[in-house]
Amino acid sequence: MAVRLQIEPRHRRMLEALLREHLPGVEVWAYGSRVNGRGHDGSDLDLVLRTPDLRRLPVDQMRGFEDAVRESTIPFLVQAHDWACLPERFHREIERDYVVMSDSPAP
């Protein structure tokens, strides 16, 4: 698993604060180019959201987080995906290389 996430510490702190506020109890993993070393300043940040029971996240909760990120000063696109809505093959791909952003445990 990657040990480094390619975002500035201040942006990570901002994002972690939004996660705590809008997605309490949800485990959040970053994956993709900002984790695997292929990212650059303009790369988006891919997140996958995992509820404790791995069931679908309420739409209003997801929307609230997405709205807060858009209204923030984080200077790159953040794309959040619900683990429960992704195909199993995508789960396996994400599990190969990710960074835990918020560690509320999922089973």
17 CB-near residues (< 8 Å, 6+ apart): none
Token match 């510490």: residue? 9
> Class assignment of domain 9-102?
alpha beta
Residue 85 DSSP one-character state: G
Predicted confidence at residue 40, as pLDDT, reads 83
Helix then strand then coil, in percent of the chain rounded to 5, is: 40, 20, 40
Q: Report residues of the chain scoring pLDDT below 70.
A: 1-3, 103-107
- In this prediction the pTM is 0.89
Predicted confidence at residue 104, as pLDDT, reads 58
* Measured CA distances, 71 to 4, 13, 93, 96, 105 (Å): 26, 16, 30, 31, 28
Question: Apex CA 2: angle with CA 91 and CA 73, to 5°?
Answer: 85
